[in-house]
């Protein structure tokens, strides 16, 4: 397969960032800032190997799995058949060797998780279809498929989801599990069974509201209908999508395709058939639009970080050369005294305001965590209203054991949705309170910073904060003061960038629910066997249902609490590190200047001029490097 054509803008952006990273690493090492290079390594890995998650969704039997098989030119990869539903999620990812791995859900009572196992391709049906694993009795979480396929080589990950019919309720927990991490969603419609339904519209509305705006459509099986017919369906579907979901025409991405034709094209090596299959347009869109957009975003994020560091090095060089230009020993002595004064002021500030705010921050973060945990525990009380309201609503005379049994599955889905929504709400609140806390910590810190430590400088963060806000979805409004007004000086700058670091710690709430979803679901099957119609049977059914639902809520509660605990531990650890690193950086920068002045005072004019030459050269290099980054950020 030919290497996909990429947007030249992205190629250039990546190149710029890659060069800037290499140059900055080299400069930082020679300027005695090896720690900077180390701190950037994980971001660089992410920049170079970023994954793109494409999640394929849609009603059962629309042709999702077949579509993927044809896209990868692997007719037998995912099980597809008219009578067998995909019963689990498949994650297809690049791997040097073809390999299938089964990953398990944690035990509903203990939370323990079995280790993943490697299986043969022949065993896929046994683990990943409704026939081989009815009701998911084997508690499969997902199946990982690793393939040496060139299409996946650039980091594309394809997720195939089951379509269990009655899309809206049954799919919701799977959606919650996989949609939050989706970089894009591919929604599959077909050309034979029905045009787009209200259920599908509701589901899409939900995805658009809470997950991602990057949804595009394929209409499969065009080979099964004459062209006029599938085109008429296309017109119908796109009209409905535009009208009901309010997607403007130019933003609606919709491809009619035939998986069958694509596979025939591959086996016959026919370009004409390939064209006819509609897959060329899909592939072009995938590579030139979606993957490129993601790379663009990741490049910009990384460029912002690089520029922050470059600015720090630049300031340091500028200060050094300033000192070296001083002619007289007198002036150098004066400079040394000023710096010593700054040092003692910084020490004073550290011992008082900095320490006090840091303590306050730790205390308040601890309070916020405890408060949120306790609210979450109440919200998701297994003996609370979540279960009782639903059981009570079933206690009418007209309801029979059979009806209870039939409705149990839907009720469970409904409870799972409620758990997810309540958890999301708590996390949204937690996040916004955390951001407030950061602001309340940093503002008094900067305000109290000695005048000498905040000589005004160019407002880097003013320039990048719109980009941060737009690209990273960071909530910068609460940092306006930190980022716009008080960027000045080494210390002010350092504190402002501390704000950026802390804001990045905010956890996307949907990701938490995603981690929770594997605990839930699949419990009701077989719990209520009784379908007879007398009162005793009904009471029995109700009490069994109650036990089952209570278990579901208990598992959801445990999982949500565990996740929050986990998040706050990380938050505490990372924010402590950010505070410590920033202070250390301020001290180090100042000490570095002092050493420079001392060295300059001791050495000869000639020697100083030599060092000055080097410093000016580094300064120029950094300026040039920043110029290229800014050009990228301004684009
Ligand atoms: N004629 C035709 N049939 C297709 C096409 N894609 C899928 N199908 C059939 O549609 C049925 C459902 O496909 P499958 O991929 O299992 O659907 P899923 O449940 O959405 O994953 C299968 O019988 C497929 O053979 C296509 O492009 N053309
Ligand atoms: Mg399928």
Q: What is the pLDDT of residue 592?
A: 81
Q: What is the pTM of this model?
A: 0.68
Burial degree of 254 (CB within 10 A; 0-12, 13-18, 19+): middle
Residues 6+ apart with CB under 8 A from 432: 475
Residue 61: left (phi > 0), alpha (psi -120 to 50), or beta?
left
Distance from C-alpha of 13 to C-alpha of 285, rounded to nearest angstrom: 19
State the average pLDDT over residues 410-426: 81
Q: How confident is the model at residue 124 (pLDDT cuts 50, 70, 90)?
A: confident
Greater confidence (261 vs 313) lies with 261
Q: What is the pLDDT of residue 473?
A: 39
115-122: long-range contacts at Cβ-Cβ below 8 A with a sequence spacing of 24 or more? 116/144, 121/76
Atom of ligand 1 nearest to the CA of 67: 6
The Cα diameter of the chain in Å comes to 104
The best mutation among 59, 66, 162 to test binding of ligand 1, ranked by most ligand atoms within 8 Å of the C-beta, falls on 66
Q: What is the pLDDT of residue 471?
A: 39
User: Where does 246-291 have alpha helices with state H?
Assistant: 259-268, 271-277, 279-284
Least confident of 32-36, 404-408, 475-479, 561-565: 475-479
Greater confidence (494 vs 273) lies with 273
Q: Is residue 527's pLDDT more than 60?
A: no
Distance from C-alpha of 116 to C-alpha of 106, rounded to nearest angstrom: 11
Q: What is the pLDDT of residue 25?
A: 93
Distance from C-alpha of 525 to C-alpha of 522, rounded to nearest angstrom: 6
Residues 6+ apart with CB under 8 A from 462: 483, 484, 487
State the average pLDDT over residues 123-139: 80
**N- to C-terminal Cα separation, the chain:** 32
Q: What is the pLDDT of residue 544?
A: 85
Q: What is the pLDDT of residue 478?
A: 43
Q: 375-401, pLDDT tens digit by residue? A: 999 999 999 999 998 888 887 777 888
Q: How far does CA 232 lie from the centroid of its chain? A: 38
Which residue is closest in CA terms to ligand 1's atom 5? 221
Q: Is residue 529's pLDDT more than 70?
A: no
Q: Is residue 472's pLDDT more than 50?
A: no
Q: 602-635, pLDDT tens digit by residue? A: 888 888 888 889 889 999 999 999 999 888 877 7
Tokens encoding 382? 């297994």
- Report the SS3 class of residue 121: helix
- Which helix (H) or strand (E) segment holds residue 254: the answer is strand 254-256
Q: Is the CB of residue 203 less than 8 Å from the CB of residue 235?
A: no
Q: What is the pLDDT of residue 227?
A: 95
Taking the CA of 162 as reference, the closest ligand is: 2
* C-alpha of residue 560 to centroid of ligand 2, in Å: 30
Per 3-state DSSP, what percentage of the chain is helix, strand, and coil (rounded to 5)? 70, 10, 25
* C-alpha of residue 73 to centroid of ligand 2, in Å: 16
Residues 6+ apart with CB under 8 A from 42: none
Least confident of 59-63, 266-270, 410-414, 455-459: 455-459
Residue whose entry in the numeric block shows the structure tokens 């000086």: 489
- Report the SS3 class of residue 213: coil
State the average pLDDT over residues 517-534: 56
Q: Is the CB of residue 92 less than 8 Å from the CB of residue 68?
A: yes
The best mutation among 56, 60, 64, 80 to test binding of ligand 1, ranked by most ligand atoms within 8 Å of the C-beta, falls on 80
Average pLDDT score, the chain: 81
Q: How confident is the model at residue 490 (pLDDT cuts 50, 70, 90)?
A: low
Q: How confident is the model at residue 165 (pLDDT cuts 50, 70, 90)?
A: low
Tokens encoding 34? 């090896």
Q: What is the pLDDT of residue 169?
A: 52
- Ranked by mean pLDDT, the top range of 175-189, 363-377, 503-517, 578-592 is 363-377
Q: What percent of the chain has pLDDT over 70?
A: 83
Q: Is residue 468's pLDDT more than 80?
A: no
Strand duo 140-147 + 99-104: pairing: antiparallel
Burial readout 175-189 (b: 16 or more C-beta within 10 A, e: otherwise): bbbbbbbbbbbbbbb
Greater confidence (319 vs 548) lies with 548
Distance from C-alpha of 429 to C-alpha of 152, rounded to nearest angstrom: 38
Taking the CA of 83 as reference, the closest ligand is: 1
Mind giving me the DSSP string for 365-420?
HHHHHHHHHHHHHHHT-TTSHHHHHHHHTT-STT--HHHHHHHHHHHHHHHHHHHH
Q: 56-66, pLDDT tens digit by residue? A: 998 888 999 99
The best mutation among 59, 63, 191 to test binding of ligand 1, ranked by most ligand atoms within 8 Å of the C-beta, falls on 63
Q: Where are the beta strands (DSSP E) in 58-200?
A: 89-94, 99-104, 117-119, 140-147, 156-160, 184-190
Q: What percent of the chain has pLDDT over 90?
A: 30
Burial readout 581-601 (b: 16 or more C-beta within 10 A, e: otherwise): ebbebbeebbeebbebbebbb
- Ranked by mean pLDDT, the top range of 552-556, 577-581, 620-624 is 620-624
Q: Is the CB of residue 598 less than 8 Å from the CB of residue 272?
A: no
Q: What is the pLDDT of residue 82?
A: 55
Neighbouring residues of the ion ligand 2, judged by CB less than 5 Å: 64-65, 86
- CA triple 540-544-547, angle to 5 deg: 145
Q: 231-259, pLDDT tens digit by residue? A: 999 999 999 999 999 999 988 999 999 99
Which residue is closest in CA terms to ligand 1's atom 13? 63
Tokens encoding 182? 């989706």
What residues are in contact with ligand 1 under a 6 Å CB criterion? 60-66, 80-82, 85-86, 163, 220-221, 223-224, 258-260
Distance from C-alpha of 302 to C-alpha of 472, rounded to nearest angstrom: 11
Q: Is the CB of residue 276 less than 8 Å from the CB of residue 265?
A: yes
């Amino acid at each position: 397969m030919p290497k996909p054509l990429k947007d030249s803008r992205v190629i250039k952006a990546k190149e710029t960032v890659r060069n800037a990273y290499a140059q900055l690493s080299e400069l930082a090492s020679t300027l005695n800032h090896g720690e900077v290079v180390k701190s950037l390594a994980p971001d660089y890995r992410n920049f170079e190997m970023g994954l793109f998650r494409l999640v394929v969704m849609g009603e059962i039997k629309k042709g999702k799995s077949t579509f993927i098989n044809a896209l990868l030119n692997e007719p037998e990869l995912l099980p597809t058949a008219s009578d067998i539903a995909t019963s689990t999620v498949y994650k297809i990812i690049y791997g040097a060797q073809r390999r299938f791995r089964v990953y398990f859900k944690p035990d509903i009572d203990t939370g323990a998780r079995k280790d993943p196992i490697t299986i043969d391709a022949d065993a896929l049906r046994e683990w990943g279809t409704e026939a081989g694993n009815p009701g998911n009795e084997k508690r499969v979480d997902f199946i990982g498929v690793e393939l040496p396929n060139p299409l996946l080589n650039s980091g594309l990950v394809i997720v195939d989801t089951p379509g269990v019919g009655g899309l809206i309720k049954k799919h919701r927990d799977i959606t919650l599990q996989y949609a939050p991490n989706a970089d894009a969603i591919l929604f599959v419609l077909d050309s034979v069974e029905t045009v787009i339904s209200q259920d599908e519209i509701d589901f899409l509305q939900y995805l658009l509201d809470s997950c991602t705006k990057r949804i595009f459509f394929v209409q499969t099986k065009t080979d099964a209908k004459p062209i006029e017919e599938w085109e008429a369906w296309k017109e119908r579907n796109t009209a409905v999508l535009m009208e009901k979901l309010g997607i403007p025409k130019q933003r609606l991405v919709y491809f009619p395709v035939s998986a069958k034709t694509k596979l025939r094209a591959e086996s016959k090596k026919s370009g004409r058939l390939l064209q006819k299959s509609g897959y060329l347009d899909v592939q072009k869109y995938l590579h030139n639009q979606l993957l490129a957009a993601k790379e663009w975003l990741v490049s910009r994020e990384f460029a912002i970080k690089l520029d922050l560091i470059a600015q720090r090095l630049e300031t340091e060089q500028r200060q050094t050369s300033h000192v070296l230009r001083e002619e007289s020993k007198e002036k150098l002595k004066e400079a040394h005294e000023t710096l010593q004064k700054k040092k003692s002021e910084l020490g004073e500030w550290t011992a008082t305001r900095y320490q006090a705010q840091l303590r306050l921050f730790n205390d308040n973060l601890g309070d916020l965590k405890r408060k949120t945990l306790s609210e979450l525990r109440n919200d998701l009380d297994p003996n609370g209203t979540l279960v009782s309201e639903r059981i009570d609503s079933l206690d009418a005379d007209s309801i029979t054991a059979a009806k209870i049994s039939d409705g149990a599955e839907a009720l469970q889905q409904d409870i799972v949705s409620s758990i997810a929504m309540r958890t999301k709400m708590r996390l949204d609140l937690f996040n916004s309170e955390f951001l407030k806390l950061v602001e309340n910590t940093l503002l008094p810190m900067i305000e109290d910073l000695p005048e000498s430590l905040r000589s005004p400088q160019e407002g880097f963060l003013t320039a990048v904060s719109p980009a941060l806000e737009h690209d990273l979805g960071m909530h910068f409004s609460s940092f306006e003061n930190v980022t716009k007004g008080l960027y000045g000086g080494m210390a002010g700058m350092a504190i402002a960038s501390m704000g950026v670091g802390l804001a990045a710690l905010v956890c996307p709430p949907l990701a938490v629910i995603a981690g929770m979803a594997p605990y839930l679901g699949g419990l009701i099957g077989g719990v209520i066997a009784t379908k007879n119609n007398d009162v005793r049977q009904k009471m029995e059914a109700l009490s069994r249902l109650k036990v089952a639902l209570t278990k579901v809520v208990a598992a959801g509660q445990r999982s949500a609490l565990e996740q929050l605990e986990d998040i706050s531990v990380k938050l505490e650890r990372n924010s402590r590190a950010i505070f410590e690193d920033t202070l250390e950086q301020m001290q180090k920068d100042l000490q570095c200047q002092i050493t420079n002045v001392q060295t300059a005072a001791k050495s000869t004019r000639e020697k100083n001029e030599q060092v000055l030459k080097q410093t000016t050269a580094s300064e120029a290099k950094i300026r040039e490097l920043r110029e290229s980054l800014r050009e990228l950020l301004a684009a």
